[in-house]
Amino acid sequence: MHKPDDSRLDLPLANEAAAIDFAVRLAQSITPGMVVYLQGDLGAGKTTLVRALLHALGHTGRVKSPTYTLLEQYEAAGLHLRHFDLYRFRDEEEWEAAGFRDEFDGHNVCLVEWPEKAQGLIPQADVEIVLEILPSGRNLTIRANTETGRKCLSVLQR
Ligand SMILES: Nc1ncnc2c1ncn2[C@@H]1O[C@H](COP(=O)(O)OP(=O)(O)O)[C@@H](O)[C@H]1O
Ligand SMILES: [Mg+2]
């Protein structure tokens, strides 16, 4: 007998509409303080997912990719959300100077593209989402690393 794996979920996303559907479900499983990594090549759909998630939470304005600003902030559904894109993050001093450390305060929901660029500085993820580009569509893998992450996954699997 196999115990169902409660720490990992594999989902094919045939198109952008499927990614948006997933984001709507993810929105229901987000809790304050969660750290979510979004990994995958340029164009894999990380920002698309964050944008759909914010809209699912009720944000009605624009969601710009924080490519140059590295960080954009939102409030929606009573959550304080932080969207990072660390692709252009270089300097470790920048982490302190920009006040990024303080953003991971156990209260803000931190959604982080390119977390690997801040290895050793950024806190562990509760949930890691990996997007893989397929000839058609994407494959999404979501993995829980903490108890908070496992709770999020169990809500997603309902
Ligand atoms: N599941 C999907 N299947 C096919 N195309 C997708 C999917 N998700 C997003 N896309 C498209 O791929 C591109 C992804 O861009 P973006 O979200 O900015 O990627 P990233 O932030 O990972 O660099 C967009 O043009 C979007 O329309
Ligand atoms: Mg992006």
pLDDT above 70: residue 70: yes
92 CA from centroid of ligand 2 (Å): 21
| Residues contacting residue 91 through CB under 8 Å, at least 6 positions apart | none
Q: What average pLDDT score do residues 25-38 get?
A: 98
Inter-residue contact 133 to 46 (CB < 8 Å) = no
If one counts the domains in the chain, the total is 1
72 CA from centroid of ligand 1 (Å): 19
85 CA from centroid of ligand 2 (Å): 7
Ligand 1 contact, 130 CB (< 6 A): no
pTM listed for this prediction:
0.96
The closest-lying atom of ligand 1 relative to the alpha carbon of residue 38 is 22
Model confidence pLDDT, tens digit, residues 91-127: 889 999 999 999 999 999 999 999 999 999 999 999 9
Model confidence pLDDT, tens digit, residues 5-15: 679 999 999 99
| Residues contacting residue 85 through CB under 8 Å, at least 6 positions apart | 47, 65, 66, 67, 70, 113, 114
The mean of the pLDDT values for the chain is: 95
Query: Which CATH number covers residue 127?
Result: 3.40.50.300
Q: Residue 24 — very low, low, confident or very high, per pLDDT cuts 50/70/90? A: very high
Inter-residue contact 52 to 34 (CB < 8 Å) = no
Model confidence pLDDT, tens digit, residues 142-151: 999 999 999 9
Give the pLDDT of residue 1.
Answer: 47
Whether residue 4 lies inside any domain: the answer is no
pLDDT above 90: residue 32: yes
Phi, psi (deg, nearest 5) at residue 65: -70, 125
Whether residue 83 lies inside any domain: the answer is yes
∠ Cα 149 80 106 (to 5°)? 50
Ligand 1 contact, 15 CB (< 6 A): yes
Tell me the residue range of the domain where 128 lies. 10-156
